[in-house]
A = this chain, B = another copy of it.
Amino acid sequence: MEYEEPLFFTVMQYADAADRDVVDMVSGNPDWGAPEAISEGLHDYADTGGEQFQYPPSAGLRDLRERIATRRGVETERVIVTNGGGMANTLGMARALERFDGSEVLMADPVYPYYPGKTEMLGGVQRFVPVDDEGRLNPADVRAAASDETACIVVNTPNNPTGAVYREDAMREFVAIAEEHDAMLVSDEVYDHFDFSGAFTSALSFDSANVAVTNSFSKTYAITGFRVGYAVLPERDAPAARTRNMLTNVATSRPAQAAVLHALETTDTSYHEANRERLRERVETFTAALDRAGAEYTTPEGAFYVLARFPDYPGTMANAKRLIDEVGVAGMPGEAFGEARSDWLRFALVSPRVETAAERLASFF
Contacts and interface: CB of A to CB of B under 8 A. Distances in A.
A267 to B, nearest CB: 14
Contacts of A46: 39-40, 42-43, 46, 259
A255 B83 contact: no
B253 A253 contact: yes
A252 interface: yes
Interface stretch (A48-56, A69-77, A102-110): A48-56
A197 interface: no
Contact of A53 (B6, B226, B246): B226
Contact of A248 (B39, B52, B87, B228): B87
A83 B82 CA distance: 11
A33 B5 contact: no
Contact of A54 (B9, B43, B225, B251): B225
Interface string A220-252: 001111111000000000000001101111111
Contacts of A38: 49, 53
A37 to B, nearest CB: 11
Contacts of A90: 247-249
A86 B42 contact: no
Nearest to A221: B53
Contact of A227 (B123, B250, B259): B250
> Which of A27, A49, A51 has the most B CB atoms < 10 Å from its CB?
A49
